[in-house]
Structure 1
Amino acid sequence: MSLALLCGRKRCTGPGMAAASQRVLVFPSSSELGPALARFIAVRAQESCGSERARFTLGLSGGSLVSMLSRDLPAVPGLDCRKWLLGFCDERLVPFQDPESSYGLYKTSLLPKISVRESQVLAINPSLPVEEAAEDYATKLREAFPGEEIPVFDLLLLGMGPDGHTCSLFPEHPLLEESEKLVAGLKDSPKPPPQRVTLTVPVLNAARCVAFVTTGGSKAAVLKRVLEGKEAPALPAARVLPSPGELLWFLDESAAGSLTLSVERPTCAAAL
């Protein structure tokens, strides 16, 4: 399927209804959400590594996900990451030593705990100008996903800002309409730092599974707009509709406080 077709998908929902393949999972707090997400990742990894693909491709985002995964993923019993390949859904164009670097944070707080080698990570080259860094990262993706017009990740982990942005795709920004590039660079991010590299909407929508992780009452109003509204143009997070893939939302009660649609409230030991 072409990038243009994936980018042009419409949201197939009615008032107050979620997309057919969408699940909204609500946990009492982030302390219960984190372990459930970690178990979910581990199960999906085991399934992918046991399939004909014989590997698990995971796209990471920054923000609060870094601390959550660094705390809860290493605690999963028997976690085997030898066949994992990690990429980034977006990244700030800063040195890896900079506290704004998602890769830098994961490199120090998570990867050593789960025995992931640097050779298993696709990272941007922060020494390049932003457009060259985007193309360099796109080249790495093409090499890591040979034979695929669009890289198909097994799982993408996304966050959402209080303005409805996801990755480095911001409301009303021209990059939302990008249909040719796998990876785009931007010099004018509304949220600092201004220079960033991001996967485009077609790549997000090609994934086998996308999981948004959203916590806190500051996200409640925009989450209602994303999941229950029918805005035109749609907010960036509302444009993420992987098909035929799955879409899951991992929320805490504070973030889900304004929703009226039906949600799932899994128990701590529930299989997701």
Structure 2
Amino acid sequence: MFQNDARVEVHEDAAALSTAVAGELLSRIADHQAAGDVPHVVLTGGTIAETIHREVARLTPESGVDWGAVEVWFGDERYVAPDSPDRNAGQARAAFLDAVGVPAHRVHAMPSTADADDVDAAADAYEAELHERGPVAFDILMLGVGPDGHVASLFPGFDQIDVTDRTTVAVTGSPKPPPERVSLTLPRLNKSTAVWFLVSGEGKAEAVGRALGGADVHEIPAAGVTGRDETIWFLDRASASAL
């Protein structure tokens, strides 16, 4: 039995994984909208996320989803210039947000260097926006996992893992560049109805195995995030090879 009864889906490769996740995301959003809800979805960055986002754009016309009625949030962001290619928000806009027509006021991007004087101010600003406009619980939270087991920008051994009195934290000295980031905290990540991990590649296999095996969150931060109703690990065969 995996940790907290997480469900694991193993797909043949990254392409099959991306199509499956994109289809499931659109189906869930359509269900929420059919019930009269405006879903709150949290995006992640990374290579597999970009592939998934492009699949979302491709599949949207046949999905019945109204992207004008979806609130988009981010689990973490790099504190860099607004036009930096490192920005998760910029990657998401280029891959699908602009193409599917998500209105600017529904895209809750974390502050860049143009929006906040320093990374601490950026974290404070996003916390304020979450307090003002965020849901009690996100409907769908998507997360990547690093080879070291980090999730969002919560890295093994970093003090931010233990923050419980905030919804966002500033991260400095990130072991993965760029060094300054803003991240949701574990308690805020766990305020999600559904948590989906999106993982591809053999280099992630050990971290996946340890997270699902219930590793200490200080060693494998991904082990510390679960959904209130559902936790799904979407894997390809390579990333599942240590299970």
Describe how 1:82-121 pairs up with structure 2 within 5 A: 82-121=68-107
What is the letter of the counterpart of residue 125 of structure 2?
D
Gaps of 5+ in 2: none
Query: How large is the RMSD of aligned CA atoms in angstroms?
Result: 1.6
Match of 2:108? 122
Q: Indicate how the Cα distance of structure 1 residues 232 and 63 shifts in structure 2: closer, same or farther if over 3 A, else same.
A: closer
CA distance, structure 1, for counterparts of residue 27 and residue 95 of structure 2: 22
The structure that is helix-richer by fraction is 2
Q: What displacement does 1:187 show?
A: 1.7
CA distance, structure 2, for counterparts of residue 139 and residue 231 of structure 1: 30
* Aligned residue-pair number: 237
1:113-154 residue CA offsets vs partner (Å, 9 max, x unmatched): 111111110012212111111110111111213xx6xx4110
What is the letter of the counterpart of residue 227 of structure 1?
L
CA distance, structure 2, for counterparts of residue 69 and residue 80 of structure 1: 18
Q: Indicate how the Cα distance of structure 1 residues 142 and 187 shifts in structure 2: closer, same or farther if over 3 A, else same.
A: same
2:164 counterpart of 1:186: no
1:4-54 residue CA offsets vs partner (Å, 9 max, x unmatched): xxxxxxxxxxxxx213441000000011111110111011112222335x2
Q: 1:55 aligns with which of 31, 34, 38?
A: 38
2:210 counterpart of 1:252: no
Identity of paired residues, percent? Answer: 32
CA distance, structure 2, for counterparts of residue 99 and residue 191 of structure 1: 15
What is the letter of the counterpart of residue 251 of structure 1?
L
Describe how 1:208-219 pairs up with structure 2 within 5 A: 208-219=193-204
State the secondary structure of the residue aligned to 2:50: helix
CA distance, structure 1, for counterparts of residue 95 and residue 38 of structure 2: 23
Bigger radius of gyration? 1
2:154 counterpart of 1:169: yes
Q: Indicate how the Cα distance of structure 1 residues 38 and 232 shifts in structure 2: closer, same or farther if over 3 A, else same.
A: closer
Match of 2:122? 133
1:89-118 residue CA offsets vs partner (Å, 9 max, x unmatched): 000001221110111122222112111111
1:55-85 residue CA offsets vs partner (Å, 9 max, x unmatched): 0111011111442133210222133212100
CA distance, structure 1, for counterparts of residue 5 and residue 223 of structure 2: 14
2:58 counterpart of 1:75: yes
Q: Indicate how the Cα distance of structure 1 residues 86 and 132 shifts in structure 2: closer, same or farther if over 3 A, else same.
A: same
Match of 2:143? 158
1:169-196 residue CA offsets vs partner (Å, 9 max, x unmatched): 0001100000001011112211111110
Q: Indicate how the Cα distance of structure 1 residues 55 and 228 shifts in structure 2: closer, same or farther if over 3 A, else same.
A: same
Match of 2:30? 46
> TM-score normalized by structure 2?
0.92
Match of 1:262? none
CA distance, structure 1, for counterparts of residue 4 and residue 87 of structure 2: 35
What is the letter of the counterpart of residue 182 of structure 1?
T
- Show structure 1 runs of 4+ deviating over 6 A: none
Alpha-carbon contact 1:21-1:245 (below 8 Å) kept? no
Alpha-carbon contact 1:96-1:103 (below 8 Å) kept? no
State the secondary structure of the residue aligned to 1:256: coil
Gaps of 5+ in 1: 1-16, 260-272
State the secondary structure of the residue aligned to 2:20: helix
What is the letter of the counterpart of residue 175 of structure 1?
Q
What is the letter of the counterpart of residue 74 of structure 1?
A
Match of 1:31? 15
Alpha-carbon contact 1:215-1:251 (below 8 Å) kept? yes
Q: What displacement does 1:232 show?
A: 6.9
